[in-house]
Structure 1
Amino acid sequence: MKKSPIKIMFYLILFISTMISITSTSWLGAWMGLEINLMSFLPLISSQSMYNNSMIKYFITQTLASVMLITSIITLMINMFKLKEIIIMMVAMSLLMKMGAAPMHFWFPEVMEFLGWKNCILLMTWQKMAPMIMISYIDINQLFMTIIIIMSAAVGSILGLNQISLRLILAYSSINHLSWMLASIQVSMTIWMWYFSIYSLLTTLISLSFKSININFINEMFNSKNNNKTDKLNSTLMLMSLGGMPPFIGFLPKWMVIQELMQSNMYLASTTLIMSSTITLYFYMKMFISAGILSIKENKWTKNNSLSNKLLMLMNTLSTMGLMVSPIILK
């Protein structure tokens, strides 16, 4: 795994397997794509020996979900069970376990804690795509999905409050965002595409920012960000955007989801999502508050003309102005 061509091969298989799952015309084909995806992601996790613990946890959980999925699919195909709605709920539960939604979220933070930042990005974004699109293909009981949405919102916001590890904070943040994405699937796949795209972009930028300065805990952010005020500003803007604070672009998909939920009379789900988003915004602020406050002992502002810093500034400018130009984009 030290040779980059091998990694490129596994990344390519990871991409192709997800495409197989979301474009398949049968459940067996979709299940096969998920299995190929699992087998291509495991070598990426185990590329360093210290991550073997995460690999085992991820493998066991995904295997249990796959067994539940294929059993439910076979049962539906041969019509063994009269209560079809229960089998459909089992299919949904297996897919929810694969993406790490509550109450099947137990494995997600534990796996995230010992992964490298690149694998964390894949686990929080790309690995959720196929299960979520497959959930949109089935007609699930609305009460069941509302319960899952409320539980994911509550777990992702409350359990993230007492974390000091940046990976665990982003893991519980991902569970909370998952509730928003599941809610958007219930009302409109177009809104889900917007939400998933913006969430993936912001999560990737934040993770790469942490990776570039090699920080893993909140208390490391103060010393790491002090020497570069521009990087400090970048991190602050990205976290506010991910939390959904206006006028940043991260508020746009949440605004669209809330509007559609209210029109669909899903008042309980929308209220829970808004309250959980307020809580997550609090621990986003906790991540940069110590590094964000300017101290009299700090050095002067210095320019950083690196390409990565310029790119982050450009993306943050687009993020800040994104809500203003959104009517033109969505027209």
Structure 2
Amino acid sequence: MKKAPMKIMFYMILVMSTVISITSNSWLGVWMGLEMNLMSFIPLISNQMSYGNSSIKYFITQTLASTTLIMSFITLMMKLHNQHKEIVYMMMTISILMKMGAAPVHFWFPEVMEYLDWKNCILLMTWQKIAPMILISYIKINQLFMTFIIMSSAIIGAIMGLNQISLRLILSYSSINHMAWMLASIQVNMMMWMWYFMIYSLLTTAISWEFKSSKVNFINEIFINKNNHKMNKLNSAMSFMSLGGLPPFLGFLPKWMLIQELMNNLMYTVAVTLIISSTITLYFYMKMFLSAGILMFKENKWSKNNYFSKNKIMFMLNMMSTLGLLLSPIIIK
């Protein structure tokens, strides 16, 4: 209880720093906001001694990215970029991509995620990506370079998640894959990015909070710990299907809209790569719950007490991912 006021202060600084970064009219203000964000997030993830390694790794990578960013915009201010303008913009882009953990500078993201508690995992996968994503839209980026970033994030996020048994690592590589979709949406339409990010944040928060309330950390714990709530297990499976973009669910809606926009902008290679990578991620989502559905060992009988979870709010959020595609006629006009 003594640490609660400090936590509230750090959360407020975290929110304010993101707002400062995305509303600043100079790169110096952007850099200050990102540094405030770093200094407020470090105490939150180093609250317990076992998470010390995560905070050190996060601090080192974010400091390296911040140093690259400030050197890049100093070069822009000194007018030394006339001959190498695109290289400076590429360096700025790489530093921002490192801050959000997109491939190929994603090396720190799964390692930090592995040792965080679920609340901080939610922050790292959702809120901490808002400022870097919006800053990417401010930079004039070479189209070929951005296509390489999108395709590498999609492929690495899909393939690296295949052999994982830790739920945090699965969600971290899933986040890298979704970053490819969000970067592609930034290239075509910022409103598209907003819709994608909102739906992705809703689904990720619902899934992570469900794992937190069930105290589940690995795949084999899903179909042992959740047997007392069979409908809750089914609900979690549907949330994962939605996150993977299976058509009947809400997660399919932003991907459907983005694929249509990519086709209209003649970005066929990017669209095909994203679809294939999304199919691979859907495979390792389904692998977690199909084995739980087939497995008969230690299965309890169905009873009226086992239908619903005690956590009604998370049950409602999971149901939104199931029935959310019905909202598509309202959103798409």
Provide TM-score, normalisation by structure 2: 0.96
Q: Which runs of 4+ in 1 moved over 4 A?
A: 304-308
Identify the residue that residue 296 of structure 2 maps to in structure 1. Answer: 295
Deviations 1:142-188 (A, max 9, x none): 10000000000000000000000000000000000000000000000
Counterparts of 1:314 and 1:225, CA distance in 2: 17
Q: Does 1:191 align with 2:192?
A: yes
Please list the CA deviations of residues 110-148 of structure 1 after superposition, one character each: whole Å capped at 9, or x if unmatched. Answer: 000000100000000000110000000111111000000
The answer for the alignment partner of 1:19 in structure 2 is 19
How far the C-alpha of 1:327 sits from its partner, in A, is 1.4
Cα offset, 1:310, TM superposition: 2.4
The aligned residue for residue 140 of structure 2 is 139
Change (3 A) 1:5 1:306: farther
Quote the residue 1:274 is aligned against. Answer: 275
Please give the alpha-carbon distance, in whole angstroms, between the structure 1 residues aligned to 2:306 and 2:28.
52
Within 5 Å, give how 1:34-45 maps onto structure 2. Answer: 34-45=34-45
Segment drifting more, 228-237 vs 160-169: 228-237
RMSD: 1.6
| Structure 2 counterpart of 1:309 | 311
| Contiguous gaps of at least 5 residues in structure 1 | none
Quote the residue 1:9 is aligned against. Answer: 9
The one-letter amino acid paired with 1:315 is L
Identity of aligned residues (%): 69
Whether contact under 8 Å (2:226, 2:233) holds in the other structure is: yes
When residues 325 and 156 of structure 1 are mapped into structure 2, their CA distance, relative to the original with a 3 A threshold, is same
Alignment of 1:1-331 (within 5 A): 3-82=3-82, 83-293=84-294, 295=296, 297-303=299-305, 309-331=311-333
CA distance 1:68–1:45, change in 2 (3 Å): same
The 2-side partners of 1:282 and 1:2 are apart by 45
> How far did 1:294 drift?
6.6
Deviation, 1:2, is 5.3
CA apart distance, 1:286: 1.3
Shift of residue 320, structure 1, vs aligned partner: 2.2
Q: Secondary structure at the match of 1:226?
A: coil
Kept after mapping to 1: 8 A contact 2:239/2:322: no
Q: Give the match's secondary structure for 1:112.
A: helix
Partners of 2:221 and 2:318 lie apart in 1 by 23
- Whole-angstrom distance in 2 between the partners of 1:191 and 1:308: 35
Retained in 2: the 8 A contact 1:229–1:301? no
CA distance in 2, matches of 1:138, 1:309: 43
Cα displacement (A) at 1:290: 2.7
Change (3 A) 1:329 1:107: same
CA distance in 1, matches of 2:253, 2:110: 27
Letter paired with 2:62: Q
Residue 176 of structure 2 aligns with an amino acid whose one-letter code is I
Q: Secondary structure at the match of 2:131?
A: helix
Shift of 1:313: 3.0
Structure 1 counterpart SS, 2:226: helix
Aligned length: 331
Superposition deviation, residue 228 in structure 1: 0.9
Q: Which amino acid aligns with 1:84?
A: K
Please give the alpha-carbon distance, in whole angstroms, between the structure 2 residues aligned to 1:214 and 1:308: 14
Unpaired stretches in structure 2, ≥5 consecutive residues: none
Amino acid at match of 1:316: N
- Encode CA deviations 1:239-267: one digit per residue, 9 max, x unaligned: 01101001101000011111111111111
Distance 2:149 2:2 in 1: 40
**Alpha carbons 2:13, 2:37 under 8 Å: kept:** yes
Report the AA paired with residue 235 of structure 2: N
Aligned counterparts of 1:303 and 1:294: Cα–Cα separation in 2: 21
Instruction: Give the C-alpha shift of residue 304 in structure 1.
Output: 5.9
Q: Distance in 2 between matches of 1:70 and 1:178?
A: 24
Question: Residue by residue, what CA displacement relative to the aligned partner does 1:258-303 show, whole Å, maximum 9, x if unpaired?
Answer: 1111111111110000000000000001122233347385222343
Whether the 8 Å contact between 1:38 and 1:62 is mirrored in structure 2 is yes
Shift of 1:306: 7.7
Supply the distance in 2 between the matched residues of 1:104 and 1:301 (Cα, whole angstroms): 49
Counterpart residue identity of residue 291, structure 1: A
Post-superposition offset of 1:308: 5.5
Q: Normalising by the residue count of structure 1, what TM-score does the alignment of the two structures yield?
A: 0.96
Q: 1 CA distance for matches of 2:59 and 2:294?
A: 42
